[in-house]
Amino acid sequence: MLNDTIAAISTPLGEGGLAVVRVSGPAALEVADHCFVPAGPSSPKPSHAPSHSVHFGRILDQGRLADEVLLTVLRAPRTYTREETVEISCHGGALPARLVLAAVLAAGARLAEPGEFTKRAFLNGRIDLAQAEAVADLIHARTELALSAAQEQLAGKLSQRIRRLRDDLLGILAHIEAQLDFADEDIAPDRRDQLLVRLDDGVASMDSLLRTADEGRILRRGVRAGIVGRPNVGKSSLLNQLLGHDRAIVSPIPGTTRDTIEETANIRGLPVVFTDTAGLRHAKDAIEQEGIRRSRETAARAEVLLHVLDWSEPLEAEDIRFLDDCETRKRILVLNKSDLPRRLDLPSAVASSTPTVAVSCLTGAGLESLKETLKKLIWTGDLRPEGLDVIINARHQDALRRAREGAVRSRDALGRDLPLDVVALDLRIAVNAVGEIVGSTATDDLLDVVFSQFCIGK
């Protein structure tokens, strides 16, 4: 795969000031020679240009002008992929970029697969697999904290922890195999009690990393929060206030919201996916019945519920029923319309066990308190960029769980004085599982799964 030359549009399609077409591979400069015409008569062809130099000219496709461009020459190994690379900046918009890409493909390159540039950076040893995944996290980051976490992973903070863990496990394995292979030789490997201590340290390190999985999931994917309650209690108004703009229609007519409305907001640095739902009540028409059915599905899937109640009215039967149905769920009671006289009385058991915040979507009062309560409900500990240097994702979590199981089995076998080859077998499983995280023991199938999640051009 690394013997051919690939190309793709690396900027989003659509209108804009600039678009970039990236070319990488052994023939990248020759491809550029075939389709790029320098503006100056004495200007060099790309294949004769120095590295990290920019040249003005035209891209031609079979003699026809594709666009006027700036072409950057990047010579290996000082490139993103560690291959010969050309980056062509053309005018923004879908058509100019596509015409330039077509000219590059006609000159001998092939269209890149999703994530193939980053995959080549990994295969050529520029980054490891965990750092490659951080590139995707950078692109998809929706808050500054998520961006900071991705930057720390790209800088290699997680990789350093994983490599130290793998080296420690390999060291233990080496001592065990030394006793197996050279039992009669004059060597002094660690005793069983020493190896047990080292295995305990390895398991503790895995536990520490595994505890970051939920935080990583929140930063990368966000938390799903369902806004639920009776009609006309202010669910849509609350959504608009949390988003900072009018997304949902607000009306004094009950049952205005017939379908779910989903939007993501930055709440104290955390991406929260809010879903506004149809009001929960006995509906007569089929459309509202379907909306209420979807509301209950949303409530069932949500990780957090914002149950909106009307501060100015007594509880109704539907309120009480839903309070009882969701008593075991992670939720916040949002008492809206707090600018009006209070007529709402909560059951004492509910009031004492459930976070409750009074707000007014009319005046904005209480909204900052609601955001802080929501943050505390979904995130434990400090929420600071310096605390996000090592956060694992779902793939890392799976590998670490398998590694931990193998290490625990090895520790137990060692503690029970079982044969050392049994201890070594499970420890090898642990070493290989840890290696999957940085790509030391990754299979082709695993690499295909990881890089298929990237966009084309990255």
Show me where the domains of the chain are located. 6-112, 131-212+391-451, 221-378
Q: How far apart are CA 250 and CA 261, in angstroms?
A: 13
Q: Tell me, what's the pLDDT at 258?
A: 47
DSSP SS3 for 350: helix
Q: Which of 179-188, 191-200, 319-328, 397-406 has the highest mean pLDDT?
A: 397-406
* Per-residue pLDDT reduced to its tens digit, 392-414: 899 999 999 999 999 999 999 98
* Per-residue pLDDT reduced to its tens digit, 129-148: 999 999 999 988 888 888 88
Q: Tell me, what's the pLDDT at 288?
A: 53
* Per-residue pLDDT reduced to its tens digit, 355-372: 999 999 989 999 999 999
DSSP SS3 for 19: strand
User: For the residues 245-263, what does the mean pLDDT come to?
Assistant: 59
Asked if pLDDT for residue 326 goes beyond 60, the answer is: yes
DSSP 108-165: T-EEPPTTHHHHHHHHTTSS-HHHHHHHHHHHH--SHHHHHHHHHHHTTHHHHHHHHH
Using CA atoms, how far residue 164 sits from 201, 329, 409, 438, 443, in Å, is 12, 39, 21, 12, 21
Burial class of 389 by CB neighbour count within 10 A (0 to 12, 13 to 18, 19+): middle
Q: Sign of dihedral through CA atoms 441, 446, 452, 455?
A: negative
Q: How far apart are CA 96 and CA 90, in angstroms?
A: 7
Buried (b) or exposed (e) across 20-51, using 16+ Cβ within 10 A? bbbbbbebbbbbbbbbbebeeeeeebbeebee
The β-bridge partners of 111 are: 7
- What number does CATH give the domain 131-212+391-451? 1.20.120.430
pLDDT tier at 278 (50, 70, 90 boundaries)? low
| Better-scored residue on pLDDT, 68 or 226 | 68
Under CATH, what is the fold of the domain 221-378?
Rossmann fold (3.40.50)
Identify whether the C-beta of residue 397 lies closer than 8 Å to the C-beta of residue 213: yes
Q: Tell me, what's the pLDDT at 367?
A: 94
| Better-scored residue on pLDDT, 296 or 267 | 267
The β-bridge partners of 267 are: 270
Q: Name residues whose C-beta falls within 8 Å of residue 262's C-beta, 6 or more positions apart in sequence.
A: 273, 274, 275, 276
Q: What element of type H or E holds 99?
A: helix 94-106
Of 244, 233, 292, nearest to 272 (Cα)? 244
Q: How many CA atoms lie within 13 A of 30 on its CB side?
A: 8
Under CATH, what is the fold of the domain 6-112?
Gyrase A; domain 2 (3.30.1360)
Task: Confirm whether 131-212+391-451 and 221-378 share one CATH topology.
Answer: no
N residues, the chain: 458
